[in-house]
Amino acid sequence: MSLLKSKIHIKNIPLYQGGESKLDQFSSITKLSSNENPFGPSPNAIKAYNDVQSKLHLYPDGSASELKEAISDIYQVSKERIICGAGSDEILCLACRAYSGPNDEVIHTQHAFSMYSIYAKSVGALPIISQEKNLTANIESILKSVSQKTKIVFLANPNNPTGTVLNKNDVLYLRESLREDILLVLDGAYSEYMLEDDHDGALSLASTFKNVLITRTFSKIYGLAALRVGWGYADISIIETLEKIRNPFNLNSSAIAAAREAVKDVVYTKYLQDHNSQVMNEFILKFRSLGLEITGEAGNFILVKFPHGLNKSAAEADSYLRSFGIIVRRVDGYGLINFLRITVGTQKQMNEVFLRLKQFLEGNNVKDPI
């Protein structure tokens, strides 16, 4: 037996379960389990990535200056208030390390991204769950969860996996109602999919308040999940704090170059936004026509519920889809037992899922071609 003991608060942390990407019997699959962009990144991003080949012996720019400039330009935010990270995951982790520790409390909503509680636990803090109402973050419940020990409140808006959103006024009300010494982290992984004028992904909130941190990612609409790039936006005092404790070369040169070009290609981003909203609206209607229930309508994924009346479970549907090489996301781990989360893919992929689900729900469980 080893005498080496890890910190007690690390011992019981569950391992993060990502979306699966392989099925043994299939050489190619339809993967709609990780909210990835089905078209990949801008061609300019791929070119910039390839161009890094000749510079592999050089350390990256530790300040990711060119990437910050591009973000600052496109999002109209000040460069000094941006921090870049290896995925927005790193920013979430830095926030926990900088602003919480042993015996502190960190609040997140009931069906929230599992990394919030994993990072809170990793620094010895206690995650506190605030109950949702109708699968939507409930501000009164968040405020009721606050104690003297609360240091951080995490809120994903839109939320994954529920697909529900709080509007700008609600988020403002939440910030104004929280004590000033509590950091509000607004995870905007899906902000780019919000086309409404009044959703600026809370960037203006982080410009006004000294205790708001926005996180964004290049893993979703920008199609660069493999390269691990994210960013945070906040008051300069928060950014300076997080900068001190990050790894000095947290982003590699290929990631910086590809992300820089991806964010600049606004025409391609607009195409992806329009495609997502059109396909998503179409298939929300189609899934509902099968008797499936859908609450949230934001992001690039659809959370479908298999109501009792259908007499078919999400687990059975999942096995059925898998038998055709289609992987969607089981969300039991989030406490969503009879639900599946389906990433909005291409029209063709979505048709395939829809027709298989239809076949499954109508009980024609023969392996008919579709």
Ligand X SMILES: *Cc1c(COP(=O)(O)O)cnc(C)c1O
192 binds ligand X (CB under 6 A): no
- Please report how close the Cβ of residue 369 comes to ligand X at its closest, in angstroms: 34
For the chain, give the secondary structure using H, E and C: CCCCCCCHHHHCCCCCCCCCCCCCCCCCCEECCCCCCCCCCCHHHHHHHHHHHHHCCCCCCCCCHHHHHHHHHHHCCCHHHEEEECHHHHHHHHHHHHHCCCCCEEEEECCCCCHHHHHHHHCCCEEEEECCECCECCHHHHHHHCCCCEEEEEEECCCCCCCCCCCHHHHHHHHHHCCCCCEEEEECCCHHHCCCCCCCCCHHHHHHCCCEEEEEECCCCCCCHHHCCEEEEECHHHHHHHHHHCCCCCCCHHHHHHHHHHHHCHHHHHHHHHHHHHHHHHHHHHHHHCCCEECCCCCCEEEEECCHHHCCCHHHHHHHHHCCCEECEECHHHCCCCEEEEECCCHHHHHHHHHHHHHHHCCCCCCCCC
233 binds ligand X (CB under 6 A): no
Site string for ligand X, 139-158 (x = CB under 6 A): -----------------x--
- Among residues 30, 37, 42, 88, the one that binds ligand X under rule CB under 6 A: 88
- Among residues 136, 219, 250, 254, the one that binds ligand X under rule CB under 6 A: 219
Q: Which of these ranges, 217-225, 266-274, 324-332, 345-353, lies near ligand X under the rule CB under 6 A?
A: 217-225
200 binds ligand X (CB under 6 A): no
Give whichever of 64 and 361 is closer to ligand X, judged by the CB atom: 64
- Among residues 189, 239, 292, 340, the one that binds ligand X under rule CB under 6 A: 189
- Among residues 87, 127, 201, 223, the one that binds ligand X under rule CB under 6 A: 87
- Please report how close the Cβ of residue 120 comes to ligand X at its closest, in angstroms: 14
230 binds ligand X (CB under 6 A): yes
- Among residues 30, 37, 48, 89, the one that binds ligand X under rule CB under 6 A: 89
Size of the site for ligand X (CB under 6 A): 14
- Please report how close the Cβ of residue 250 comes to ligand X at its closest, in angstroms: 12
- Please report how close the Cβ of residue 154 comes to ligand X at its closest, in angstroms: 9
Give whichever of 48 and 259 is closer to ligand X, judged by the CB atom: 259
- Please report how close the Cβ of residue 141 comes to ligand X at its closest, in angstroms: 19
Looking at residues 3 to 42 of the shown chain, list those that interact with ligand X (rule: CB under 6 A). 35
217 binds ligand X (CB under 6 A): yes
187 binds ligand X (CB under 6 A): yes
Adjacent-strand bridge partners of 329? 341
**301-305, strands of its sheet edge to edge:** 293-294, 301-305, 339-343, 329-330
287 binds ligand X (CB under 6 A): no
| Interface contacts to ligand X, rule CB under 6 A | 35, 87-89, 113, 156, 160, 187, 189, 217, 219-220, 225, 230
